Structure 1
Amino acid sequence: MNTEKMKVHFTDNYLISPTNPIEVNLIGAGGTGSKVLTALMEMSHSLTELGHAGLQVRLWDDDIITEANLGRQRFAPSETGMYKSVALINRVNRFMGTNWKAETKKFERNDLGGLPENTKATIYITCVDNVQTRFDVTEMLKTMNIRRNHRDEAKYWIDFGNSRDTGQVILSTIGTIKQPDSEKYETVASLPMVTDEFGELLKQSEQTDNTPSCSLAEALEKQDLYINTTLAQMGCSLLWNMFRFGMTENRGFFLNLKNFQSQPLKIA
């Protein structure tokens, strides 16, 4: 008889029953980030309808909208020349009556090597095409002065990454999340950061050509039209299930959109 327990991670209690909206830092407002923001908007509204406090999102991106961004990214021709973060946040706030924030600068370390001042959050989501940015975020999260039992304590990091037809979403804990006693499951309190577990793979897979595309046609040679949308929906579904069911047996997935295959990454 197989008596091995399924390994799961129970969502931190504060995410389930918060006293205030959950603070989220969304880093990157491009092909994936713009779609993730829409999914977070839907998620926040759905949570509040269920009696939850919802989400409070701060979107970071210093890029300006160009014609090459139209079509694959969630921008309108009338928004060309605006900051991506401002255009998206203005739209969400008008649409849902929220008070989410836009940052028109890079998410960078402060003078002490930690997070930017007064911008701590409970959940960090990275949607960036630069591998070094992921390593910088890792160092910031590791060196920050975590304040336990405080509403803005950092707890989770979700990283979205992709190439032309493939991608992955990885959930990490920031430190250790207290787990309940369970007779049915083997609980896992700490989930490794993407850079610790897949750092070498990230470096090898980084695209050498990071120059901006001059047209949508050129952009589509680098990333397929629907890879970002698919990743955003599936990745946000992982977060949604953590809110709804209070636990997860998966900490992400690998996706190959070319052959329509998805491989879950189990808690280990």
Structure 2
Amino acid sequence: MNTEKTKIHFTDIYLINSTNPITVNIIGAGGTGSKVLTALMEMNHSLVELGHAGVSVRLWDDDIVTSANLGRQRFAECEVALYKSVALINRANRFMGTNWKAETVKFEKDDLGRLPKSAEATLYISCVDSVKSRFAIADILNLQNNRKHHRDAPKYWLDFGNSQHTGQVILSTIGEIKQPHSEKYETVASLPFVTEEFGELLKQSEQEDDTPSCSLAEALEKQELFINSALAQMGCSLLWSLFRYGMTENRGFFLNLKDFRSQPIPVA
């Protein structure tokens, strides 16, 4: 008889019982980030209807909308030449009546190695293109971990990444999350950063190409049309489970949209 307990991560209690909206930083407002924002709009409304305080989002991106972004990313022709973050946040606020914020700068430390006050949040969601950006975010979040004695201290990092047909979403804790005693489950307090667990693989697989696409056709040679939206929906479903059910058996997944395969990553 198998007596091994199922490994579970229980959500930090602050995310479930907060009297104030949970602060969220979304880093990147492109193909994935623009669709993650839409999912968070839906999630926020649903949480509020269920009696939760909801979420308060700040979207970081210093890029502007180009004609190549239309179609694959969530932008309209009238938004060309606007900052991506401003266009998306203005639309979200008009649609949902929220007061979310846009940042038109990169999410990074200043020359003195400090972060602006606005960079502090409980939940970080990264939707960035390069491995270098992920390591920079990991460095920042390690610094943010020093705020863990605050009530609204950083708790989680949800990272989205993809290539043309494949992608992954990885949930990490920022430090350890206090777990309740459980007779039924084996609780797991710490979930490693994507840069710690898959750092070498990320470095080996990276093919740096920061050249902007000049057309939608060129952009689709780099990323398939629906890979970003598929990752956004599945990744935000994982996030929804943390809020709605207060626990998760899985801390992410790998997705291959070309042959429609998804592989969950269990809590370990």
Return the letter of the residue paired with 1:163: S
- Structure 2 contact 60–103 (Cα < 8 Å) conserved: yes
String of CA shifts for 1:84-108, please: whole Å, max 9, x gaps.
0000000000000000000000000
CA distance in 1, matches of 2:77, 2:16: 39
TM-score (norm 1): 0.98
Return the letter of the residue paired with 2:204: Q
User: Is residue 228 from structure 1 mapped to residue 248 from structure 2 by the alignment?
Assistant: no
Return the letter of the residue paired with 1:208: E
Matches within 5 A, 1:201-212: 201-212=201-212
Match of 1:236, SS state, is: helix
Return the letter of the residue paired with 1:186: E
- Structure 1 contact 253–263 (Cα < 8 Å) conserved: yes
- Structure 2 contact 145–175 (Cα < 8 Å) conserved: no
- Structure 2 contact 27–61 (Cα < 8 Å) conserved: yes
Stretch deviating more after TM superposition (75-84 or 114-123): 114-123
User: Is residue 241 from structure 1 mapped to residue 241 from structure 2 by the alignment?
Assistant: yes
Matches within 5 A, 1:164-183: 164-183=164-183
In the other structure, the counterpart of 2:59 is: 59
In the other structure, the counterpart of 1:139 is: 139
In the other structure, the counterpart of 1:26 is: 26
Structure 2 unaligned regions, length at least 5: none
String of CA shifts for 1:154-211, please: whole Å, max 9, x gaps.
0000000000000000000000000000000000000000000001111122223221
Stretch deviating more after TM superposition (109-118 or 197-206): 109-118
In the other structure, the counterpart of 1:72 is: 72
CA distance in 1, matches of 2:195, 2:211: 24
Q: Would the alpha carbon gap of residues 165 and 231 (structure 1) be closer, same or farther in structure 2, given more than 3 Å must change? A: same
In the other structure, the counterpart of 1:14 is: 14
In the other structure, the counterpart of 2:216 is: 216
In the other structure, the counterpart of 2:46 is: 46
String of CA shifts for 1:192-239, please: whole Å, max 9, x gaps.
000000011111222232210000000000000000000000000000
Structure 1 unaligned regions, length at least 5: none
In the other structure, the counterpart of 1:189 is: 189
Return the letter of the residue paired with 1:227: I
Stretch deviating more after TM superposition (64-73 or 118-127): 118-127
- Structure 1 contact 114–141 (Cα < 8 Å) conserved: no
Return the letter of the residue paired with 2:225: L
In the other structure, the counterpart of 2:252 is: 252
Return the letter of the residue paired with 2:33: G
CA distance in 2, matches of 1:261, 1:188: 27
Return the letter of the residue paired with 2:73: Q
CA distance in 1, matches of 2:84, 2:37: 12
Tell me by how many angstroms 1:111 deviates.
4.3
CA distance in 2, matches of 1:194, 1:19: 30
Q: Percent identity?
A: 75
CA distance in 2, matches of 1:156, 1:150: 14
Tell me by how many angstroms 1:145 deviates.
5.5
Return the letter of the residue paired with 2:29: A
User: Is residue 152 from structure 1 mapped to residue 155 from structure 2 by the alignment?
Assistant: no
- Structure 1 contact 115–144 (Cα < 8 Å) conserved: no
- Structure 2 contact 60–107 (Cα < 8 Å) conserved: yes
TM-align CA RMSD = 1.1
CA distance in 2, matches of 1:149, 1:196: 24
User: Is residue 129 from structure 1 mapped to residue 129 from structure 2 by the alignment?
Assistant: yes
String of CA shifts for 1:224-264, please: whole Å, max 9, x gaps.
00000000000000000111110000000000000000000
Match of 2:78, SS state, is: helix
Tell me by how many angstroms 1:143 deviates.
1.9
User: Is residue 106 from structure 1 mapped to residue 111 from structure 2 by the alignment?
Assistant: no
CA distance in 2, matches of 1:134, 1:208: 13
CA distance in 2, matches of 1:40, 1:144: 23
Aligned length: 268
- Structure 1 contact 113–140 (Cα < 8 Å) conserved: no
CA distance in 1, matches of 2:218, 2:258: 19
Match of 2:117, SS state, is: coil
